[in-house]
Amino acid sequence: MHFPIALEGLPYVLLALAVAIVLAVLNLHVAAGFAFVGSVFVAAFFRDPNRKVQADDDAIIISPADGKVISVTEVAPSRAGDRPGTKVCIFMSLFNCHINRSPITGSVTSVQHTPGRFLAAFNERASEVNERTNIGLVDAAGNPISCVQVAGIVARRIVCRLKKGDRVRAGQRIGMIKFGSRVDLVVPSSYEVLVRTGDRVKAGLDAIGRRRVLSREQVSG
């Protein structure tokens, strides 16, 4: 039976509840009320809903995070597994569900954590200088896809449940970033990007890209 709150968030929820109880025992009822409301907010932040994944087709890349698409940009080959691609950046506010999910069904080729700064997650430089975890994936057709969990100004803790060699399913829970952040997805040029700046997406539900169908000339070439 699935628990509706991420296990990583239970200590925060229980701590807030404990503070509320102590304040109530001390007859500090107003403060206790604020602490209880805080515990509800924390529980909502760490919510972990079940979702029916919308990616039965292995030619689809689905969103790894809930939030707003803040940029869709072309990237140099060195940023996309030595192939050209497109970077889709998804900003997660404090009010979004923060469970991250695998964008594809495939294999984990690498997991690399890089310490860094804590600029605001919507800052353009955040993906280059902030603390982050880069998850390298490869789909069934051999296309490399990079999923990067980026810490923000409030988020100081990245949780990644994957390791090199793991097999993942599209929509599978792979971790989270605590208290606001972003996820960058580098989509190879073999995929058509289906979102644009300003779109709102949900992890496991919305398509980010679709694998292009090659012509006979491209296949033979």
Cα 25 to Cα 163: distance, rounded to the nearest angstrom? 45
**Contact in structure between 65 and 147 (CB atoms under 8 Å):** no
127-164 exposure pattern, b = at least 16 Cβ within 10 A, e = fewer: beebbbbbbbbbbeeebbbbbbbbbbbebeebbbebee
- Chain centre to alpha carbon of residue 38: 24
For residue 131, give Cα distances in angstroms to 46, 112, 193, 216.
Answer: 21, 11, 26, 44
**Contact in structure between 197 and 67 (CB atoms under 8 Å):** no
Which residues face 150 on adjacent strands? Answer: 132, 182
For the chain, how far is it from start to end, CA to CA, in angstroms?
Answer: 51
By annotation, the residues acting in catalysis are 181
- Helix, strand and coil percent figures for the chain, each rounded to 5: 20, 35, 40
Cα 50 to Cα 102: distance, rounded to the nearest angstrom? 14
